[in-house]
Amino acid sequence: MVARQQALRPLLAALADGQWHSGEQLAAEAGCSRAALAKRVAHLRDDYRLDIAATAGRGYRLEQPLDLLEADAIRAAVGPQAGRVTVLDSVDSTNRWLLDAPAAEDPQLCTAEMQSAGRGRRGRAWASPFGQSLYLSVSYGFAHTAAALGALPLAMGVTAGGVLEAFGAPQIGLKWPNDLVHDGAKLGGLLCEARGEMGGNFRVVVGLGVNVRHHPALDGLDQPATSLERLGATVSRSALAGTLGAALLAACERFAAQGLAAFAEDFAARDALRDRSVTVQEATAWQGIARGVDAAGALQVQTADGGLRAVHAGDVSVRAAS
């Protein structure tokens, strides 16, 4: 699969502008026959589900131009913070790829044009069409217990929100514990996964998905969704990937030294549930008023009797009451 991706990349780069390109020229540039070129175009259609027009006398054209990820630009933006930066055309999951990568090379970054099995919190599928959004993961080793890492998604979320605003997205909030939102619509989400390592340390992979273009898959979700494109932010996906990767790795280092306290003020400013009625889905559903988070990152919900009840990530689903 990696060899096929490498063979397809020059053809992708040639077609990315959305203009017509003659088959003869494309075959000459690739050093292959017209028949071999046709097979490569078929792989782009089948493997990446790209819509490529073919017309006799005109050649091939990608129906929608692509802003392809550029590995060198991403590495330059990340800088020396990452031990290894990997850019893939297709992968099952950038989180899974890093979880399987050698921990000795951490901190690392992996991003991809598409995911075939992208995941969100609680195993939910994440729509990951080719070249339309950003799928990014970083890995970092923490000398913490798993319990101490429970608030990490909040630190990563407020960090990502700040970067997205710097790229032109307005007023990005964090819907506890891991959704990036604008005016109630989901712009992105985070998935943090931890594994114990030798010596008692924990290796954490932080996955981040951000809707860049507003592709049709976003309109079929079970909740409102938005995109950077819809919010009026025109971005280079490579610049965004590199900047986000650098910011997330720096935030991991800061969290390792100071915990959630270093991000508490920023979270309070971005808390999309604060003082709103919420429904908590547990064995039975119950309602209350969201009152921020505690020092461990647990959501504090004021119940009908006026008391506060802690809600921990991973065991509930919280929806703002209509």
Of 107, 136, 161, 119, nearest in space to 237 by CA? 136
HSE (side-chain half, CA atoms, 13 Å) at 228: 23
Greatest CA span in the chain, whole angstroms? 75
Question: 186, 203, 237, 270: which is the annotated catalytic residue?
Answer: 186
Please give the structure tokens belonging to residue 212: 């860049």
| Catalytic site includes residue 121 | yes
Reported in sequence order, the residue ranges of 121-251 that DSSP labels E, i.e. its strands, are 134-142, 173-175, 179-182, 185-196, 202-210
Distances (CA, A) of 223 to 191, 195, 220: 18, 31, 8
Question: 9, 58, 122, 319: which is the annotated catalytic residue?
Answer: 319
How far, in Å, CA of 198 to CA of 321, rounded? 44
Torsion of CA 239, 135, 188, 160, to 10 degrees: -50
Question: 84, 121, 274, 309: which is the annotated catalytic residue?
Answer: 121
Please give the structure tokens belonging to residue 2: 């990696």
**Which residues, other chains included, contact 4 with Cβ-Cβ below 8 Å and sequence gap of 6+?**
43, 47
| Catalytic site includes residue 213 | no
| Catalytic site includes residue 84 | no
Catalytic residues: 121, 186, 319
